[in-house]
C-alpha cells in the first residue's frame, strides 16, 4: 500500500476546533465522520467513499485527496493557509547550551 499521507496538507475550518490540518487519509476520514449527518449529501458520500477505498488500497491517495478537497471547497470549509517562508521551515540549529559548551 502506498503512503496514506497527502503530498500537500489541506486546511479546513471546523466550528469546534478552528482550523484543522488534514495531512492524511485518516485525518480526512475522521473529519468527514464528524460532519453533521443532516448536512451530508452526495458529495460527502463520494468523498467518504474515495477516502475509505484509498485507505483500503483500492484507490490512490491522490484520488482521495482530490475528492476531499472538492467536498471541502463545495461546503465552504477549506482554508487557504499561506506556505511558510523557507527561513521559517529550514534546518533547526543546535540548542544554545551546545553552542556555549563548544565555545568554552
Predicted confidence (pLDDT) per residue in 15-61, tens digit:
776 899 999 999 999 999 999 999 999 999 999 999 999 999 999 99
- Express each pLDDT in 92-103 by its tens digit: 655 555 555 555
Instruction: Tell me the per-residue pLDDT of 60-89, one tens digit each, with 9 for 90 and over.
Output: 999 999 999 999 999 999 998 766 555 555
Rounded Cα distance between 78 and 76, Å, is 6
Q: What is the DSSP letter of 60?
A: -
Full-model pTM: 0.75
CA distance 69 to 78: 8
Q: For the chain, what are the domain ranges?
A: 5-103
Amino acid at each position: 500500500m502506498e503512503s496514506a499521507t497527502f503530498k500537500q496538507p489541506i486546511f479546513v475550518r471546523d466550528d469546534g476546533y478552528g482550523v484543522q490540518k488534514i495531512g492524511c487519509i485518516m485525518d480526512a476520514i475522521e473529519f468527514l465522520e464528524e460532519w453533521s449527518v443532516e448536512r451530508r449529501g452526495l458529495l460527502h458520500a463520494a468523498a467518504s467513499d474515495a477516502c475509505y477505498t484509498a485507505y483500503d488500497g483500492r484507490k490512490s491517495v491522490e484520488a482521495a485527496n482530490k475528492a476531499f478537497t472538492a467536498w471541502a471547497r463545495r461546503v465552504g470549509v477549506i482554508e487557504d493557509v499561506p506556505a511558510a517562508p523557507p527561513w521559517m521551515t529550514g534546518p533547526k540549529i543546535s540548542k544554545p547550551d551546545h553552542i556555549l559548551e563548544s565555545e568554552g
